[in-house]
Amino acid sequence: MTAARHVAALLGGEPAPEPHPAYCVRCKQPTHAPVPVGYIERASGPGWTQYACPSHAVEFGAGPTPEDELRTP
């Protein structure tokens, strides 16, 4: 089995869903791999999450969260 066929089999023959694009708060460029780096609170309504592209996310101190820890059963 070729790698391409293996991937197609894993995906069930359907194309992968397009990730939701977000704009990096640092370089203002759209990224398809946004990393949440902050949350802005607003008094007049719901806040919003700030995202950064992977290359800028490290500048915000983004790193593994407790949910990313590998757990052994």
Question: Helix, strand, or coil here: 29?
Answer: coil
- Is residue 9 a contact residue for Zn ion (CB under 5 A)? no
**Integer Cα distance of 44 and 22 in angstroms:** 23
Nearest distance from C-beta of residue 55 to Zn ion, angstroms: 6
Residues in the chain: 73
Q: Indicate which single residue of 8, 23, 26, 38 sits in contact with Zn ion (rule: CB under 5 A).
A: 26
Q: Indicate which single residue of 9, 11, 27, 33 sits in contact with Zn ion (rule: CB under 5 A).
A: 27
**Integer Cα distance of 53 and 61 in angstroms:** 13
Give me the residues that bind Zn ion (CB under 5 A), please. Answer: 24, 26-27, 53, 56
